[in-house]
Amino acid sequence: MASVFGENIKISIFGESHGPAIGVVVEGFDAGFKVDTEKLQEFMSLRAPGGKMSTKRKEADQVKFLAGIKDDVICGSTFSAIIENTDCRSGDYSNLYDVPRPGHADYTAQMKYGGSQDVRGGGHFSGRLTAPLCIAGGIARQILEKKGIEIYARIKCIGKENDPAPTKYPELCEMKKIDARFPVYNADAAERFEKVVEDARMDGDSLGGVIECAVFGVPTGLGGPLFDGIEGRISQAVFGIPAVKGVEFGSGFGGSQMYGSENNDGFYYDENGLVKTYTNNHGGILGGISSGMPIYFNVAFKPTPSIAKVQDSISLKQKENTKLEIKGRHDPCVVLRAVPCVISAAALSIYDLIKD
């Protein structure tokens, strides 16, 4: 078991899509830090349902602190925050114990929990559980920002459409310009992304995509060798986001096709006497340890498994093959809403590393 994330900070997420509330318990965040709750709520809204690419479910995702934060200031030991579920229509999901949806956790959860899992809306496996992740991650990002560490992410591609970047690895000045509400470099990319998603939705289908994340201002010397490497730590957080199926750092899979002489990043002293590398194919991490260069990684999201098209499935009760037509409200593409989730995973990982 390992649903608690973190070595030095601890995050426990709880809740189901259609239960009374979802929430998070957090330990180890800096006592005395004053949370900018307005900024947090704004960050949460990037993940909240609404907009063309999203489910029709309406949730304000209003964060309510239960404990450990007084007058917006972190008291010191443990804090807890919840979001009450409001717009649940559980009637839509009654069939799922019997006929599991392809690409979902219905079948595997059934096997693991013997039918005791709350299946409504995906239960504990719902993308909705990323809301508590974003509470913890959003606060961690605020704390990191005060320490000079800034995290940005953008949509790199959706389906086969992509948004070409001005440089191979994103620069802080470029990423700061990006509109957080639809984080792409080029205005036409937003349009193209919206169009392919809308086309998929109209066709009863869905799309996935890739999010690129960059962490600027990371001190040198975080992380460590072997199982203590930054890549492993960030991965564990990132794979905590439902629908993630791949992660790569720096040149990643592309780098595996390069020669060493191309992929190696030569060192130099910059004009301020700081050690830099000419390129950043190592994605800011060498030997599992931060080099001081920005940390870059890409995250692959599979297409939303809930689609309107008829699919092959089985009836667990009848023990026979059957067809399934999914009803309910679903995102044709989670990638846009997943951006704050990836940022949160990065923020929590880096914050955890800094506390080493």
Where in 117-146 is the site for its own copies (CB under 8 A)?
A: 117-118, 123-125, 129
| Cα–Cα dist 28/355, whole Å | 9
Q: Which two tokens stand for residue 329?
A: 């409200």
| Cα–Cα dist 72/78, whole Å | 14
**Interacting span for its own copies (CB under 8 A) from 40-48, 154-162, 168-176, 187-195:** 154-162
Nearer to its own copies, 138 or 240 (CB): 240
Long-range pairs for 191-194: beta carbons < 8 A, 24 or more residues apart? 192/161, 193/155, 193/158, 193/161, 193/163, 193/336, 194/52, 194/53
CB of 176 to its own copies, least distance (A): 26
CB of 136 to its own copies, least distance (A): 12
1 binds its own copies (CB under 8 A): yes
Is residue 98 within 8 A of residue 333, CB to CB? The reply is: no
Where in 41-70 is the site for its own copies (CB under 8 A)?
A: 64-68, 70
CB of 281 to its own copies, least distance (A): 8
Residues 6+ apart with CB under 8 A from 244: 238, 299, 300, 301, 302
Q: Which of 168, 163, 166 is nearest to 258 (CA)?
A: 168
Nearer to its own copies, 118 or 175 (CB): 118
Build a one-symbol-per-residue string for 161-200: x at contacts with its own copies by CB under 8 A, - elsewhere: ---------------------------------------x
**Interacting span for its own copies (CB under 8 A) from 45-53, 170-178, 179-187, 227-235:** 227-235
Nearer to its own copies, 176 or 287 (CB): 287
Is residue 65 within 8 A of residue 40, CB to CB? The reply is: no
How wide is the angle at C-alpha 341 spanned by C-alphas 339 and 343, nearest 5°?
75
- Measured in whole angstroms, the distance separating CA 316 from the mean position of its chain's CA atoms is 32
CB of 214 to its own copies, least distance (A): 16
Where in 255-284 is the site for its own copies (CB under 8 A)?
A: 255-269, 273, 275, 277-278, 281-283
Out of 242, 344, 349, 350, the only residue in the binding site for its own copies (CB under 8 A) is 242
**Interacting span for its own copies (CB under 8 A) from 48-56, 101-109, 142-150, 172-180:** 101-109
Q: Count the neighbouring beta carbons within 10 Å of the beta carbon of residue 158.
A: 28
97 binds its own copies (CB under 8 A): no
**Interacting span for its own copies (CB under 8 A) from 53-61, 146-154, 184-192, 297-305:** 297-305
Where in 299-318 is the site for its own copies (CB under 8 A)?
A: 300-307, 309, 311-314
Is residue 63 within 8 A of residue 84, CB to CB? The reply is: no
User: CA 188, 191, 193, 199: dihedral to nearest 10 degrees?
Assistant: -140
| Cα–Cα dist 40/268, whole Å | 38
CB of 282 to its own copies, least distance (A): 6
Phi, psi of 13 (to 5 degrees): -105, 140
Is residue 203 within 8 A of residue 223, CB to CB? The reply is: no
245 binds its own copies (CB under 8 A): yes
Q: Which helix (H) or strand (E) holds 173?
A: helix 172-177
Out of 58, 62, 94, 111, the only residue in the binding site for its own copies (CB under 8 A) is 111
**Interacting span for its own copies (CB under 8 A) from 138-146, 163-171, 183-191, 231-239:** 231-239
Nearer to its own copies, 182 or 298 (CB): 298
